[in-house]
A = this chain, B = another copy of it.
Amino acid sequence: MSLPKNQKTTIKVIAERAGVSVTTVSRVMSGQGSKYRISKKTEELVNRLAKELNYETNILARSLRMKQTFSIGMIVPDISNPFFASIARSVEIESRKAGYSVILCDSQEDTTLEKESLKVLRMRKVDGMIICPVGKELKNIIDVSKFNIPVIVVDRYFPALNLSCVVSDNYNGAIQAINHFIDKGHRKIAFIQGLRNTSVNEERLKGYLDAHEKNNIPVNESFIVGEDFGKQNGYIGAKILLNGSERPTAILGGSNLISLGALRAISEEHLNIPDDISLIAFDDQPYYDFLSSPITSIRQKKEELGKISIALLLNELKGGNVPGKKKIIVPTELIVRKSVKQIN
């Protein structure tokens, strides 16, 4: 019952108390007792002492020796964005199940902070990383791949990169959205896009364009606005669209935050959804059902993105068969609510 007060319980004090070597204690504690022919009696003694003295393995020491930390690094551009928070959540839950801890870094959409995070995670010797890149620059991610530490890229990726990645089917998601607009009779469809030159944005944009082309609807260049994934951008983008020389009848919001900003602009202009303007949001949110008019959206399977990423990473860590880098595309889903008007 003597709780360790001054003295931290280490393998060494257990060894002394038990009258055996530290080797023996180590082997018992790591469950290798039988493998190394430690007698039942010794094993029980050691276990009892460990419990009594409240022993807890010092993971630092173990990691240093084993060159494995059982930790993974996760970098997201903004953990307060529910999209990334959901991904982070499933990553954490699955990691823990596998005996890993996750070190979280918020890059704040800033390439410099992203780089810094990468460095910290390397210094901490994480066994692997799951990165939702800022996406503006390839450089950081290229660099990290030089350190031959397993990395999974999620959401925003770089086609040129030889890393496994897990992404939503942004292209077909956009197509679903635009087709839905077109089915409902819309021809003047705008797109408030996110950050240029990120895969996520370019694929959505391509979907937007291709869906127009396949339906023989000309694209009005002035209907494409926006420059990042934030709320402010959505607000400004919508303001511009609604006050342009030609007003669109429908808007595709390039992210959940963009759509939120657009909602503010629409409301400020005293317009009603869907009567005056139709809207589809990329990335579904739990509250869409309760907005002034429930918002039709393209749902991304966030938990699956997270689960697949961590599964991929763990597999690589198990030294598993690494059959080349994979690109895994997770389908999106059109959730029809009431924000798209049937016209004509």
Instruction: Show the binding face of A for B, using Cβ within 8 Å.
Output: 3, 56-61, 63-64, 69, 71, 74, 78-82, 85-86, 88-89, 92-93, 96, 101-106, 108, 113, 116-117, 119-120, 122-125, 146, 231, 260, 263-264, 267, 285-287, 289-293
CA distance in complex: A80, B105 (Å): 16
Q: Are A260 and B60 in contact (CB under 8 A)?
A: no
Q: Is the CB of A69 within 8 A of B60?
A: yes
Q: Which of B58, B61, B292 contacts A292 (CB 8 A)?
A: B292
Are A89 and B79 touching (Cβ within 8 A)? Answer: yes
A81 to B74, CA, bound (A): 18
Q: How far is the CA of A66 from the CA of B218 in the complex (A)?
A: 66
Given A64-B64, A78-B89, 12 more A-B residue pairs with CB atoms under 8 Å apart are: A56-B122, A59-B125, A60-B64, A60-B125, A79-B85, A79-B88, A79-B89, A80-B82, A89-B106, A92-B104, A267-B289, A267-B290
Task: Give, as a whole number of angstroms, the nearest-CB distance from A302 to chain B.
Answer: 8
Bound together, the chains give a CA A267 to CA B86 distance in angstroms of 26
The answer to whether B123 touches A56 (Cβ under 8 A) is: yes
Shortest beta-carbon distance, A29 to chain B, in Å?
12
Judge whether A124 and B92 touch: CB under 8 Å: no
Please indicate the chain B residues that have their CB under 8 angstroms from the CB of A79 in the complex. Answer: 79, 85, 88-89, 92
